[in-house]
Chain A
Amino acid sequence: MTGWVPVCRLDQIEVEGGVAALVEGAAVAIFRTHDGNVYAMSNYDPCSQASVLARGIVGTRGEVPFVASPMHKQAFDLRTGQCLDDAEVRVTTYDVRVDDGLVLVGPPQES
């Protein structure tokens, strides 16, 4: 992976919603939270083994912004990809930034 890949306009992502994008062949879920932040993580839910996280409900647990998998409702910290219900499970997160209304996804973050 090199550089940043533009995937969509920011206004294509609903507030507290997500979209899936293809980035260098990988399915990446990109979320937008109520406070204006944008997060990206692998779309693949390791608990249900399906590529669905972008379709989950976005909210907060305490101060933690999270998405609940639409399959069996495991919660994932949008910032780190850590599963909040199972310390053993984590999904890869990606660098993401918004440039002039464009959402760009960067390389996967090292854990």
Chain B
Amino acid sequence: MSPHHRRTLVVAGHGMVGHRFVQAAIERGLTETHDLVVVGDEPRAAYDRVALTSFFQVGADELSFLPTGAYDDPRVRLLTGTEVEGFDPETRTVLLSGGDVIGYDELVLATGAAPFVPPIPGHDLPGCFVYRTIEDLEAIREAAATATVGAVIGGGLLGLEAANALAQLGLETHVVEMAPRLMAVQVDDAGGATLTRHIEQLGLTVHTGAATERVLGDDRVTGLALRGTDPIDAGIVVFSAGIRPRDRLACDAGLDLAERGGVLVDERCHTSAEHVWAIGECAAPSGRMYGLVAPGYAMAEVVVDALLGGPGSFTGADMSTKLKLMGVDVASFGDAHAATEGALELVFSDAVAGIYKKLVVSADGRQLLGGVLVGDASAYGVLRPMVASGIELPDNPEDLILPAGRGVPEIELPDEAQVCSCNDVSKADIVAAAAEGGTTRAGTTCGSCKVQTKKIIEDYYASQGKVVDRSICEHFPLTRQELFDVVAVHGHRSFDQIVEAHGTGRGCDICKPAIASILASQLNGHVLDGGNRTLQDTNDAYLANIQRNGTYSVVPRIPGGEITPDKLIVIGEVARDFDLYTKITGGQRIDLFGARMEQLPAIWRRLVDAGFESGHAYGKSLRTVKSCVGSTWCRYGVQDSTQLAIDLEQRYRGLRSPHKLKGGVSGCARECAEARGKDFGVIATENGWNLYVGGNGGATPAHAQLLAGDLDRGTLLRYLDRYLMYYIRTADRLQRTAPWIDSLDGGLDRVREVVVDDALGLGSELEAAMERHVDTYFDEWQATLDDPEKLARFVSFVNAPDTPDPHITFRAERDQIAPADSAGPVSLGATIPVGAPQ
């Protein structure tokens, strides 16, 4: 074989593990020598199955690992909606469902696992589902529209996830578990009982020790018959009774399988056939299958390593888990069931608070072997690495699980302690990355090690004698929050005052817009008032959004997305008369693109006369409050979401903030307004409104989390006022609400303390600040039109106000204008008259 021969590597399966394999292959250079063909049978590219339940809030796109549907590396070809029907190790070929046959040099099986459906009578009736793919969830959602009660068979990790999903869909939900407790694999009897109490408090019904004898119903599901007790009425049944490796391909090809299923592989994840490897849930290293994503990721890395000639091996995996199930912390790590000979158990249990913690320690009391945490898993970050690295326990190990405030001992983790088990990142890796200014994957998969990772990085900097410099820029030795306070305390009203008193130089494009925003939040003057104008980024300076050719887009406010036909016609007429490109945005508004700067006042005049206001699409300010049609039109709506969205958008319009702000209001739990993708999201319940905070789309999407539930309108407004003002006062420059909440000591709980419990006593002050904003609101477009001085700047050239900038040219695309590519500086030639100064 010539050294230039490129080899073909086929990956069968594109789930989380298959995707990680491809990622590692690209990152580590395997695609320099190999062409990858990745075959996935689902209709879409790999997505975050661990976060599957959030599909109902965020939709499929947000879960996707490959939103574009393709890898950046052209040497990787991804075939979705395609099955590998079989392969032949002799001829090294795979047969695809379309009939294509592909030759391979190496084959990696990453076909995962399938849900196990026990063969009880009625298991295949319509209304029976499994819980594995986005398509499963879509089917469940559809069925939930006409059902009122759902039952989940299986009280393990996935079963509880599925139950959570049914409850979110508004169903009365039952969990049926054959074992005497929930999560039997991970937790012990007492932990399971604590978990059951938590889940029952949320309104679900838990049946443990309950064997399902048959699924009831003639042509569709009507309920479950349980042995020795009354049947349950249910219109939906979800099976979550464990998984089985998808090893059929290997079986058909004559490969060795493990006794209990799964493709038998050695410690390099190589199967019994030459050039065939298996990773993830379809594989069984040393005969054991691993039903978690972290071991699958580790296997993916091992095979990439092997194909690069490296020494990697897979020698078992940490089966620790930490998760938040319906708001309840549950963690299990190491030898959770005290199976080690002579192991001792230390237990702390507070039935009132719903907290159960257990440590399993060695017979001599020196080593931590494992543990279970329910209700409060904050100690997980320290405890799990202690097990993995064998670090010796302190003299009073019970302190590790006693409630905070009893003097939890500081444990210094050894360098080799594995902090992130999903991505196998050690403390030493994190310290090394911090030293080099790089990053690791720690905290990016399940997130349970985030707090620990942050602490290690902070400790590292402290050990270097470094103070983390949070200065906003070279001109101010202050954070944005400190600047905000300085301005408030001293009552500064201009940039000049602030820079003279607290800064150096004349400012820059970082500090000037930040100070403009701070002044706007506190004084709510016009952004174009004297002295303010030169602080503004171009969008604020021209009250429109600059686009790639130097033109602007204009976005009138359409509160809640509701618009009359007359107003819709005005927008159309303006767009037609000024030849603007129009597009309906994701925020339920209409963007008008391609306006030259000198055209802006005339465009606003038409819009303002028709009753429109500025939509602040340009500002770091409130953009939109998206809504569904709510109870007025929707057959599912339980509240008038449109009215509330309009009211909220009107209330917070013009509010300047550290980053743009978006809101959403949904009229029922179906969440058509995608409110949980917003900085604040409101979802109607039968009893009022649930308030979610800290969501956003963008480059790092985040789901909003529940701050408070079943609020009446007055309380909702009060909490929102406080939340938004608290954010505006304390966030960093350009910090969105999700990372801001993460950055607070205590995170969401801290926000709740301040906003709901009013722990700082700031509530009325924050509300008053918002009231001032509401009272002083004015439309910036109208105010600009009314002021000749402000208008004077809206000219193409100071000495030729109406001569269009010759750089701006358009071409046609899909019957509208689009920016033409610039050909460099353009000269109008000497024939253009240059007027005398006015």
Q: Which residues of B contact A57 (CB under 8 A)?
A: 508-509, 512-513, 534-537
A53 vs B726: C-alpha distance in the bound complex, in angstroms?
36
Please state if B827 and A51 are interface contacts (CB–CB under 8 Å).
no
Q: Which residues of A in the span 20-36 have a Cβ within 8 Å of any Cβ on B?
A: 20-27, 30, 33-34
Please state if B825 and A26 are interface contacts (CB–CB under 8 Å).
yes
A28 vs B821: C-alpha distance in the bound complex, in angstroms?
21
Please state if A70 and B537 are interface contacts (CB–CB under 8 Å).
yes
A74 vs B397: C-alpha distance in the bound complex, in angstroms?
56
User: Size range of the interface on A?
Assistant: 35 or more
Q: How far is the CB of B241 from chain A (nearest CB, A)?
A: 55
A8 vs B533: C-alpha distance in the bound complex, in angstroms?
19
Q: Which residues of A contact B213 (CB under 8 A)?
A: none
Q: A22-B828, A33-B506 are in contact. Are A7 and B798 (CB under 8 A)?
A: yes
Q: Which residues of A contact B805 (CB under 8 A)?
A: 20, 27, 51
A42 vs B512: C-alpha distance in the bound complex, in angstroms?
24
B797 within 8 A of A: yes
Q: How far is the CB of B818 from chain A (nearest CB, A)?
A: 15
Please state if B807 and A12 are interface contacts (CB–CB under 8 Å).
no
A59 vs B509: C-alpha distance in the bound complex, in angstroms?
7
A70 vs B597: C-alpha distance in the bound complex, in angstroms?
14
Chain A binding surface SS class: strand
Please state if A7 and B837 are interface contacts (CB–CB under 8 Å).
yes
Please state if B533 and A50 are interface contacts (CB–CB under 8 Å).
no
Please state if B474 and A61 are interface contacts (CB–CB under 8 Å).
yes
B807 contact from A23, A51, A65, Cβ within 8 A? A51
Q: Which residues of B contact A83 (CB under 8 A)?
A: none
Please state if B807 and A22 are interface contacts (CB–CB under 8 Å).
no
Q: A22-B797, A27-B807, A44-B825 are in contact. Are A16 and B837 (CB under 8 A)?
A: no
Please state if A22 and B546 are interface contacts (CB–CB under 8 Å).
no
Q: Which residues of A in the span 48-107 have a Cβ within 8 Å of any Cβ on B?
A: 48-52, 55-62, 65-66, 68, 70-71, 73, 75, 102-103
A21 vs B806: C-alpha distance in the bound complex, in angstroms?
12
A5 contact from B474, B826, B834, Cβ within 8 A? B834
Please state if A8 and B838 are interface contacts (CB–CB under 8 Å).
yes
Please state if A21 and B533 are interface contacts (CB–CB under 8 Å).
no
Please state if B537 and A8 are interface contacts (CB–CB under 8 Å).
no
Q: A44-B807, A50-B807, A50-B822 are in contact. Are A17 and B798 (CB under 8 A)?
A: no
A62 vs B824: C-alpha distance in the bound complex, in angstroms?
31
Please state if A49 and B824 are interface contacts (CB–CB under 8 Å).
yes
Chain B binding surface SS class: loop
Total residue contacts A-B, CB cutoff 8 A: 135
A102 vs B798: C-alpha distance in the bound complex, in angstroms?
13
Please state if B512 and A50 are interface contacts (CB–CB under 8 Å).
no
B803 contact from A22, A26, A73, Cβ within 8 A? A22
Q: Which residues of B contact A19 (CB under 8 A)?
A: 793, 798
Please state if A50 and B548 are interface contacts (CB–CB under 8 Å).
yes
Q: Which residues of A contact B536 (CB under 8 A)?
A: 57
Please state if A26 and B824 are interface contacts (CB–CB under 8 Å).
no
Residue of A with least CB distance to B805: A51
Q: A6-B836, A16-B534, A50-B807 are in contact. Are A60 and B798 (CB under 8 A)?
A: no
Residue of B with least CB distance to A54: B798
Q: How far is the CB of A85 from chain B (nearest CB, A)?
A: 12
A34 contact from B506, B799, B829, Cβ within 8 A? B506
Please state if B508 and A70 are interface contacts (CB–CB under 8 Å).
no
Residue of B with least CB distance to A9: B837
B798 contact from A20, A51, A58, A65, Cβ within 8 A? A20
A15 vs B506: C-alpha distance in the bound complex, in angstroms?
11
B800 within 8 A of A: yes
Please state if A55 and B548 are interface contacts (CB–CB under 8 Å).
no
Q: What string of 1s and 0s marks CB contacts (under 8 Å) between B792-814 and chain A?
A: 11001111100101111000000
A62 vs B588: C-alpha distance in the bound complex, in angstroms?
44
Residue of B with least CB distance to A67: B509
Residue of B with least CB distance to A35: B506
Q: A21-B798, A50-B550 are in contact. Are A44 and B824 (CB under 8 A)?
A: yes
Please state if A22 and B800 are interface contacts (CB–CB under 8 Å).
yes
Q: Which residues of A contact B826 (CB under 8 A)?
A: 27, 51
Q: Which residues of B contact A14 (CB under 8 A)?
A: 533-534
A23 vs B833: C-alpha distance in the bound complex, in angstroms?
9
A14 vs B546: C-alpha distance in the bound complex, in angstroms?
21
Q: How far is the CB of B788 from chain A (nearest CB, A)?
A: 13
Q: How far is the CB of A7 from chain B (nearest CB, A)?
A: 5
Q: Which residues of A contact B836 (CB under 8 A)?
A: 6
Q: Which residues of A contact B505 (CB under 8 A)?
A: 59-62
B538 within 8 A of A: yes
A56 vs B534: C-alpha distance in the bound complex, in angstroms?
9
B508 contact from A30, A68, A102, Cβ within 8 A? A68
Please state if A71 and B798 are interface contacts (CB–CB under 8 Å).
no
A102 contact from B509, B825, B837, Cβ within 8 A? B837
Q: Which residues of A contact B508 (CB under 8 A)?
A: 57, 59-61, 66, 68, 75
Q: A21-B799, A22-B828 are in contact. Are A16 and B506 (CB under 8 A)?
A: yes
Q: Which residues of A contact B828 (CB under 8 A)?
A: 22, 25-26
B549 contact from A6, A50, A60, A66, Cβ within 8 A? A50
Q: Which residues of A contact B822 (CB under 8 A)?
A: 49-50
Known A23-B834, A61-B505; 19 more pairs at CB < 8 Å? A12-B838, A13-B798, A17-B533, A19-B798, A22-B834, A25-B828, A25-B831, A27-B805, A27-B825, A33-B506, A49-B821, A51-B807, A51-B808, A51-B826, A57-B508, A57-B509, A57-B535, A68-B509, A103-B837
Query: Can you give 26 A-B contacts (C-beta < 8 A)?
Result: A5-B834, A7-B799, A12-B837, A13-B798, A16-B534, A19-B793, A22-B803, A25-B827, A25-B832, A27-B825, A50-B822, A51-B808, A51-B826, A52-B538, A55-B597, A57-B512, A59-B475, A59-B507, A59-B509, A60-B475, A60-B508, A62-B474, A62-B505, A68-B509, A73-B509, A75-B509
